[in-house]
A and B are shown apart, each in its own frame.
Chain A
Amino acid sequence: MQPCGRPLGGRIVLIMPEKGFSMNMPATKIELETAAPAAVAAPVVALTPKRPPRAETYARMARETAVRVIPPLVVIALLTLVWELVCRRAGSALPPPSKVFNDTKELIFDPFFDHGGIDKGLFWHLSASLQRVALGYSLSAIAGIALGVLVGQSVWAMRGLDPLFQVLRTIPPLAWLPLSLAAFRDGQPSAIFVIFITSIWPIIINTAVGIRNIPQDYRNVAAVVQLNPLEFFAKIMIPAAAPYIFTGLRIGIGLSWLAIVAAEMLIGGVGIGFFIWDAWNSSHISEIILALFDVGIVGFVLDRLIAGLGKVVTRGTAQN
């Protein structure tokens, strides 16, 4: 059985590759040669028929966009209609969309006014909130990635810190606020601290998972090349863990936007959260609705920004 099967198998391995080998290179070359003249010849002949394909591409793009844009628009229109019908009746607690629009026209079309104090356009409120988020979130991204790397890399750090993280991360953002007000004695740093402490946990945990999941192969490569710890961090660890890190960053930005609105309601001053609270105190329900709408849009944009950034940074890393 063996003397029969083996040489046969051997012959197949021995002869076929030679053919494949010698034919492989010329074959691709021939393909290139035949492909090149065709490409040169094609524009001459196909100058007129070239346009329809382009129009077709546009049509296809338009169709794809429509498929994605039309369904949500239909749903929004329907919901607005239902809302209008439900809230139109006299004595309804909430205003219908038409009334919201009429009440807030000024705010919608002039977001940049500034009458001093907290009487400012929505742009200023949103930008104040975004500044707090930017600061708190940047700090938490830096600290979160650093701590995540530590926990992912060292078994002892994980054993010591992980239980602590698991408990701390369940504390609601606003529960931190009184403590941070007591510590900082000022609204601004307290709000930033709340953002920080809210968004850091998913960043730490995801980074740690990413670091722990770095394939042993990459570590071996680094060992053979003798990368020092700093080079290993920059050239292997961060790129390899980047998809995980960005998952954490994305969850983090969402949480920090959640937290800022709540925190600002309590600390006051300029900010979209306080704007909502102020509108409630002056019974401007329409303004609350407009502000909620803005908060949603900004949150969506922030999420997309981080997702897009992640896509750019992790190009090539996700697939192997």
Chain B
Amino acid sequence: MTAYLKLDHIDKVFTRGAASTEVLKDINLTIEKGEYVSIIGHSGCGKSTLLNIIAGLTGATTGGVLLENREVNSPGPDRAVVFQNHSLLPWLTVYENVRLGVDKVFARTKSRAERDAWVMHNLNLVQMAHARDKRPSEISGGMKQRVGIARALAMEPKVLLLDEPFGALDALTRAHLQDSVMALHQKLCNTILMITHDVDEAVLLSDRIVMMTNGPSARIGEVLEVPLARPRKRLELATNATYLKCRQRVLEFLYERHRFVEAA
């Protein structure tokens, strides 16, 4: 299969006055259509910067991002982002938050009624249709993130970018939402790129895990294939040898070979 999303020799240098810090160095990665790829690394290794570069919210210093062989360097709905802190607009209802993107993306291709149906369809996908008229302040953190996912899905992105989507949630909600995302991936076959710092989450959800070395000048240290059949069941995997081996590999990478150094 040819590359669907391609990160081509991405470097990122932040310059402030005379001082400049190299955050990312020579990032190369190809992602196939329908693949679920996680990027894992210690905090401060530039994971989020990388995601922002792919989303087009930050520019790469050198190198570029190719989506279906076309360079993308500005943000757009074809690379919808689910932000860590949900980023729902508090003055809009759940429905209006999703509708905002839908109205923009399908302004010409869908009628008003079709757009309305499409918003409800996506809210149904994340089981949030019942809260359509609530404001973000009236729903729980997990629900907000579901709406965030619905908003991103509703834009029919070519690549769905998840920026530590479950980071701010408690463990129970997180697991519940992970299962939902897995089910959605199974159903819609999206191409998904997820930033995470949770090893279990990475192994459970991903087809491949990209492990980043510590910054500054973070590189891709290792890419691990997760050869587990889908659909995956959380409980069954707990004792699955392949699962445990993958988990072990990631843990070794993170905690032995690239131990997080606080002083750095």
Question: Which residues of A approach B to under 8 Å, CB–CB?
Answer: 2, 6, 10-18, 20-21, 24, 215, 217-218, 220-221, 223-227, 231, 235-236, 239-240, 242, 314-317, 319-320
Q: Chain A binding site: helix, strand, loop or mixed by DSSP?
A: helix
**Which residues of chain B from 86 to 138 have a CB within 8 Å of any chain A CB?**
87, 89-91, 100-101, 104-105, 135-137
Residues of B within 8 A of A14 (CB): 175, 200, 234-235, 237-238
Nearest-Cβ distance from residue B138 to partner chain A, whole angstroms: 9
Whether B81 lies near A220 (C-beta < 8 A) is yes
Q: Which residues on the B side are within 8 Å of A320 (C-beta)?
A: 90, 136-137
- Give the distance in Å from the alpha carbon of A215 to the alpha carbon of B89 in the complex: 10
Q: A21-B176, A220-B81, A235-B100 are in contact. Are A316 and B75 (CB under 8 A)?
A: no
- Considering the complex, give the chain A residue whose CB is closest to the CB of B152: A224
Contact of B104 among A17, A220, A227, A239 (CB under 8 A): A227
Cβ of B172 under 8 Å from chain A: yes
Please state if B200 and A224 are interface contacts (CB–CB under 8 Å): no
Chain B residues with CB below 8 A from A242, complex form: 91
Check B171 against A17 for contact (C-beta < 8 Å). Answer: yes
Partner of B79, one of A21, A224, A231, A316: A224
* Chain B: interface residue total (CB-CB under 8 A): 38
Main secondary structure of the interface of B (DSSP, over half): helix
Contact B234–A18 (Cβ < 8 Å): yes
A223–B171 contact, CB under 8 A? no
Once A13-B200, A320-B136 are accepted as A-B contacts, the answer to whether A223 and B91 lie under 8 Å apart by CB is no
Once the chains bind, are A10 and B57 in contact (CB under 8 Å)? no
Shortest Cβ distance from A15 into chain B, in angstroms?
A: 7
CB–CB B90/A319 < 8 A: yes
Q: Identify which of A17, A225, A236 contacts B174 (C-beta below 8 A).
A: A17
B85 near A16: Cβ-Cβ < 8 Å: no
A-B pairs with beta carbons under 8 Å apart, 6 shown: A6-B251, A11-B238, A20-B172, A224-B81, A225-B77, A320-B137
Shortest Cβ gap from B31 to chain A (Å)? 19
